[in-house]
Structure 1
Amino acid sequence: MSDLPIVAIMYDFDRTLCTKDMQDYSFIPSLGMTESEFWQYSNSLGQREHMDSILAYMYAMVKISKDKNIPLLRQNLVDMGKNVELFKGVEGWFDRITEFGRANGMQIEHYVISSGMKEIIEGTPISKCFKSIFACEFLYDENGNGVWPKTDVNYTNKTQFVYRINKGVLDVANDNDLNRSMPDDSKRVPFCNMIYIGDGLSDVPCMKMMKAYGGYSIAVYQNKDSKVEDLLKKGRVDYIYPADYSENTGLDITVKNIIRKMSISETLYDEYTKQKNLL
C-alpha cells in the first residue's frame, strides 16, 4: 500500500477514450440494425414514455434482443469490447501517466464514469488500467440473459461517483458510508487532487464539480466545433484538446503539469503542517 498522496483521473468513455458510442461497434450490428435505426428507436421510446434516456437505451437493448431471439449474454457483451476503437495513444496513456505521477511523489488512480456499458468496457484492452469502472450494467437471469438494469449512470447522477471516489466508497450498493458525514481531511481523495476528462455536455455536471471544488476538467474532441469551444468560453471546463493521448500532445503535457502542481501543493502543505506543529 502506497503512502503517496492520491490523484484521481476520471474519464467518460464514449467519444472520450473511444471514437463513438460503444454499442455501435458490435452490439447494434449484431441485431441487424444500423446505428441510426437503433438510436432512433431508443430516443423515440424515451421521449414517448418520458423515460430517462439511459434507461431507454438499456430497455431497447433487452427488448430488441428478445424480439429477434438473440440472447443478451454478459460474456457476449464483454467479447464485443475487443472491437472498440480507442483514440490514438490511449493504450499507452495509463502506464505513462501513472509512472509520471510516481516520479513526482503522487499515486495516480484511473476511474471510468460512463453512461456506456460496463460489460463492454471490461472487454477492452484497457479495462485493467482502472481502479473502478462506474458504468451501466445489467442484472442477468438464471439463463444468463440481461433482464433489468443493475446500474444506471445518467448525465446527472455521474456526480455521485465523484463523491464515491472522494470518500473511497467504491461499492455502489454502499449508500450508508457515502452519505455519512466525513471531515474533509479524512477523505481519501480530495477534490483538489481530481481531474475529469470528458467530451461534452453530458459531462458538464462533473466538470462543474471540479470547478466548484478545486479540481480540474478537460474536454476532448475529434473535430473542434462551437459546442466544445462554448464549454471553454463559458468557464464550464478548464481546457480543451484533441482526443490524442500520445506523449507530448497538448493533453499529455497539460495533465502532467496539473500533476506537478498537485505535487507542489502537497509538498507546501506538508511543510506548513510541519512548521505549525513546531509552534
Structure 2
Amino acid sequence: MNKKPIVAIMYDFDKTLSPKDMQEYGFISELGMKSEDFWEKSRLNMVNHNMDQILAYMLTMLQEAEGRMLLTRNIFNEMGRNVKLFEGLETWFDRINLYGEKLGLDIEHYIISSGLKEIIQGTEIAHNFKEIYAAEYCYNENNIPIWPAMAVNYTSKTQFLFRINKGVLDVTEHKGLNESTPDNKKRIPFCNMIYIGDGLTDVPCMKLVKINGGHSIAVYHDDRCIADSLISQGRVDFVVSADYRENSEMENTVRTILNQIAALNKVLKLHAKHMKNLLAD
C-alpha cells in the first residue's frame, strides 16, 4: 500500500498566528510595565552583555518577575490561554487537514518560533501541532525556571526545517540529523513544505524553503510594508493577510499550493511507474 505524501506547514507564532508578542498578553501587564519598557530592558541586556537576542528577553522575564510575580511552567501555560489569535484559527487546522485528505495528502503542522514554548503550549490551538519548536526554560524540582533549555533565534530556526525534512524531530538527537540521508529516504521533502511567517526573523527559513522547491508565505496584519519588501526581494512566494477564516486569501493560497503538491506527487509516481516498466522489459 502506497503511503500518502506528507506535507509540513510550518508557522512562526508572534504576529503570524497572534497579533502581538505573546509576552504582551498577561506577563508584561501583570508586572505593571509598558510593552516598550520591557523590550527596551531586553535590548539593553542584549547590548550590555553581548547576548543573543532571545536569551536576553528570557533573562529579562526572570529579572522583572523576581520578587513581583511567581513564574512556573504551569503559570506560563496559563498565560497562553490569554493569547489572542487571528480570526479563523480555531477551525483552520481541521479545514486544511480535510482538504489535504481529499487530495490524498497527510498534513502536519509545526511551530518554529522565537517565542516561549510554554506559553504556546497553553494556547487553544497547541494540540494541532505535531511539534512546537520554540524557546524554553529548564526548571528545578519546584517547577521554577532557572536556565534556558532552548533559545531559537532567526538562524537557529533553520535546523528545525532539516529535522522535519529528515524526520528527526527530537531536539536531543543530533546523530541522525547530521548523517547523510538520500533524498528518497527523507520523510518530508522540501517541495512538500510551506513556511508561514511575518518578518525579517523568518527570512532564513523562508528563503531555505523557497530555494529548495517549497513555498513561503509572508503574512501581515495592519502594515504590509515588510511583507511586500520580502516578496520584492525574492525571499517569499506570496504576501497574504493574517486572516485564517474560511474562503480567506490565506486559505485559498494554501489550498492552491496543496493542489500543486498533490499534482507533482502524482507526476513523480507516474514517472517512477514508467521507469519500473522500462527496467522490467
- The TM tier, using the shorter chain, reads over 0.9
Where does residue 177 of structure 1 map in the other structure?
176
Gaps of 5+ in 2: none
Correspondence for 2:125:
126
Give how far 1:71 is off: 2.1
Match of 1:203 in 2: 202
Counterpart of 2:21 in structure 1: which amino acid? D
SS in 1 for 2:58: helix
Matches within 5 A, 1:86-125: 86-125=85-124
User: How far, CA to CA, are the matches of 1:170 and 1:45 in structure 2?
Assistant: 32
Counterpart contact for 1:6–1:108, Cα < 8 Å:
yes
Superposition RMSD in Å? 1.2
2:259 paired with 1:260: yes
Q: Whole-Å Cα distance in 2 between the matches of residues 89 and 4 of structure 1?
A: 27
> Corresponding residue for 2:142?
143
Does 2:265 correspond to 1:272? Answer: no
**Aligned equivalent of 1:31:** 31
* Partner-residue secondary structure (3-state), 1:83: coil
Tell me by how many angstroms 1:69 deviates. 4.4
CA contact (8 A) 1:219 1:241 kept: yes
Question: Per-residue deviation at 1:2?
Answer: 9.0
Provide the identity percentage: 51
Contact 2:110–2:132 (CA<8 Å) still a contact in 1? yes
Whether 1:10 aligns to 2:10 is yes
Task: Give 1:47 shift.
Answer: 1.4
1:83 equivalent in structure 2:
82
Give me the whole-angstrom Cα distance separating, in 2, the residues matched to 1:107 and 1:143. Answer: 40
Q: Does the CA contact (< 8 Å) of 1:9 and 1:109 recur in 2? A: yes
**1:248 equivalent in structure 2:** 247
Tell me, yes or no, if the aligned pair for 2:31 and 2:68 is still in contact at 8 Å.
no
Distance 2:268 2:57 in 1: 46
Matched letter for residue 203 of structure 1: D
Residue 60 of structure 1 corresponds to which residue in structure 2?
A: 60
Count how many residue pairs are aligned between Structure 1 and Structure 2.
278
Deviation at 1:225, TM superposition (A): 3.4
Deviation at 1:48, TM superposition (A): 1.6
TM-aligned CA deviation for residue 274 of structure 1:
0.6
Tell me how far apart the structure 2 counterparts of residues 90 and 255 of structure 1 sit (CA, whole Å). Answer: 14
Please list the CA deviations of residues 124-151 of structure 1 after superposition, one character each: whole Å capped at 9, or x if unmatched: 0100000000001100012211010101
Residues 210-241 of structure 1: CA distance to partner in whole angstroms, max 9, x if unpaired? Answer: 12100000011012332221111111110001
- Alpha carbons 1:217, 1:238 under 8 Å: kept: yes
| One-letter amino acid of the structure 1 residue matched with residue 185 of structure 2 | S
- Give the Cα–Cα distance (whole angstroms) in 2 for the partners of residues 238 and 84 of structure 1: 28
Alignment-mate amino acid for residue 211 of structure 2: A
Q: Residue 181 of structure 2 aligns to a residue in which SS?
A: coil
1:216 paired to 2:178:
no
Q: TM-score, normalised by structure 2?
A: 0.97
Give the gaps of 5 or more residues in structure 1: none
Q: Is the 8 A contact 1:167 1:189 kept in 2?
A: yes
TM-score of the pair, normalised by structure 1: 0.97
Asked if the contact 1:2/1:107 (under 8 Å) is kept, the reply is no
Q: Which moved more, 1:76-85 or 1:224-233?
A: 224-233
Hey, what does 2:47 align to over in structure 1? 47
Q: Secondary structure at the match of 2:14?
A: coil
